[in-house]
Amino acid sequence: MSLEHLIQAMPKVELHVHLEGSIRPATVLKLAQRNHVPLPADTVEGLQEWYRFRDFAHFVEIYDRVSRCIQTPNDFELIAREFLAHQATQNIWYSEVTITPYTHYRLKGLTFAQQLAALNRARTWAEAELGVTMRLVLDFARKAPPEQAAAVADWAIASRDEGVVALGLGGVEQGYTAAKFRSVFERVCDAGLARVPHAGETVGPASLWDAIRAADATRIGHGVRCLEDSALVDELRVRQTPLEVCPTSNVCLGVVRRLADHPLPWLLEAGLYVTVNSDDPPMFNTTLTGEYLALAQAFGFGPAVVERLALNGVRATLLPVAERADLEAKFSAAFADVCARFA
């Protein structure tokens, strides 16, 4: 059996992928021209050169500029349809997609209701036409004032039955803790929604402890720097808090120097709960399929480890219990079928 064929054909889920960061360069150019948003380049090749990151601050700059290209509900529906169509080509059955809605409200006057309706139109289309679907994680930046975070939490709580499954926390870690949002996360928890903050990416264990204590994190975005603190590793092992690991992103943003240095194998060896994700795929010149292929090549993973990582993703979804169990059963059957075909 060719492991490459297995990885390409197997079903997948993705838990850590940003909608605004998933827009293809050609679509960024199309939206920028349509909405008269200036960019540093006017070709796909030029944008790809612009994407050559210097540091995390440069990445945030690029992300913000791309986000400004989204101006209307139709733009939202377009990028969501393109995203889901590309997920379908990779056999990614289900995605939990992060969006940053307050940015679009503050800068462009797009109400959250407009954004959500557009995204759900795309979701309905993808379910009917492609057989794939998504749910939404609403995030806000660590730099945000508490009242902005509270507004996003209100939107999340009110939209639990319209595809929203969690509240997230993103942006620059250094100097910005989750602690100032403790009451917001407590309210979201009381409402039955998950909390999925980014932590342990560009800042070490202190950021992860903060995410655990202030947000009672259901899952953690990245989390790869937990290995710097043995007590933290023990805590995460006991809790079995899923880590949304994004290997190529970590390389591009300088968290690790090269993929061969990535701590993912040591996270698994430590008994931690690891999932594989692409983060902002066009910006990092990757895909979820590409992440699995790169990991298998770098660390010699065979089908058993690949299946374990993929099943971890299924089991860490924020779907209702019955839906998650149904997805896992279908995934296991499909994975077995793929293995049989490539035996």
Which of the residues are catalytic? 201
Helix axes 146-158, 101-108, angle to 10 degrees: 110
- Taking the C-alpha atoms of residue 195 and residue 39, their distance in angstroms, rounded to an integer, is 34
> How many other CB atoms sit within 10 Å of the CB of residue 324?
16
| Sequential DSSP letters for 18-66 | ESGGG--HHHHHHHHHHHT---S-SSHHHHHHHTS-SSHHHHHHHHHHH
* Residue among 249, 173, 178 nearest 204 (CA): 173
Which amino acid would we find at residue 211? A
DSSP state, 279?
Answer: B
The helix/strand/coil state of 246 is: coil
**Own/partner long-range contacts of 332-336 (Cβ < 8 Å, ≥24 apart):** 334/10, 334/11, 335/10, 335/11, 335/307, 335/310
- Taking the C-alpha atoms of residue 32 and residue 44, their distance in angstroms, rounded to an integer, is 12
Owner of token pair 């008269």: 36
Structure tokens at 201: 């990416």
- Taking the C-alpha atoms of residue 42 and residue 69, their distance in angstroms, rounded to an integer, is 13
Structure tokens at 207: 């950021």
Structure tokens at 208: 């992860």
